[in-house]
Amino acid sequence: MLENVKSVILVLSGKGGVGKSTVSTQLALTLKERGFKVGLLDVDLCGPSVPYILNLENENIHQGTDGWVPVYLDKEQRLGVMSIGFLLKTRNDAVVWRGPKKTAMIKQFLEDVYWQDLDFLVIDTPPGTSDEHITVMENLRQIPQCSAIIVTTPQEVAIEDVRKEITFCRKTGIPILGIIENMSGYQCPTCNECTNIFSSGGGKSLAEISKLQFLGCLPIDVRVGKLAGQGLAAVKELPDSTTSKVFNDLVTVLAESIQNGS
């Protein structure tokens, strides 16, 4: 049920494996840390990684009187999580469904989860621009505030794919909040030095060309994955890290947008 959701943030990428789920989970954890009530919905039916990233693989969801009850990360129920992964027996179980069945499942995810009152619902989507995306976009029309964050890596191929994602958002009328460049160098956990192991700056120049806001560069930081597995936000545990700065700034932008109703 989306009636009580103030703002939806879609996390999109043109290509798989660029860090969409990592960004979605860290964003949800940061929003919770900053005092918001948050839902995290994983609609990547073929590769649901959110339960794995948050170490919730053994959790089950159940049907309550008001709808499906999300898995809550905390006692205060400030961060609820829903994923097809909770319905699969093991991480290796494959969902082999044709389009209409996938569409029906996503509709159910959007309509039948009892989220209670949420400030933000973060939606982790599959890579590309598939049926799943069209279903999500169609069902979000009722939400007063909805925007997309596009995740890319610095390499050219990912950048090319992400251009298609931008076109897709523009055609479907979803405003793009901005672009995040992930895996932008490697941050040494000991000395904090960041080394560019791929080319760099692609996300920023794409944002400039596309006239979109650039939301920052996230380095490869092995500590971030470990923290998410314990349900912890980088902004709390690694306050001096680049990751912390990028997510803090992003949440400030989101908090302003919810206040302005934009």
Ligand X SMILES: Nc1ncnc2c1ncn2[C@@H]1O[C@H](COP(=O)(O)OP(=O)(O)OP(=O)(O)O)[C@@H](O)[C@H]1O
> Which residue ranges make up the site for ligand X (CB under 6 A)?
13, 16-22, 44, 47, 49, 127, 182-183, 218, 220-222, 224-225
Nearest distance from C-beta of residue 22 to ligand X, angstroms: 3
Give min distance, CB of 101 to ligand X, in A: 20
Residue with Cβ nearer ligand X (119 or 161): 161
**Residue whose C-alpha is closest to residue 12's, from 104, 130, 145:** 130
Backbone angles phi, psi at 153, to 5 degrees: -110, 170
What is the C-alpha to C-alpha distance for residues 123 and 10, in angstroms, rounded to an integer? 5
Is 75 within any annotated ligand binding site?
Answer: no
Minimum distance from residue 43 beta carbon to ligand X (Å): 11
Q: What is the DSSP letter of 70?
A: P
Name the residue nearer to ligand X (CB basis): 39 or 51: 51
The annotation status of 16 as a binding-site residue, yes or no, is yes
What minimum distance in Å lies between the beta carbon of 155 and ligand X?
Answer: 14
Q: Is 21 among the annotated ligand-binding positions? A: yes
Is 37 annotated in a binding site? The answer is: no
Pairing of strands 194-195, 71-72: unpaired
- Residue 86 DSSP one-character state: G
Q: Which of 20/102 has CB closer to ligand X? A: 20
- In angstroms, rounded to a whole number, what is the distance separating the alpha carbons of residues 124 and 120? 13
15 labeled part of a ligand binding site: yes
Residue number, 79 or 162, with CB nearest to ligand X: 162
Beta-bridge mates of residue 123: 10, 41
Radius of gyration of the chain (CA): 17
Q: Answer whether 38's CB lies under 8 Å from 120's CB.
A: yes
Q: What are the binding residues for ATP? A: 14-21
Q: What are the binding residues? A: 14-21, 188, 191
Q: What are the binding residues for [4Fe-4S] cluster? A: 188, 191
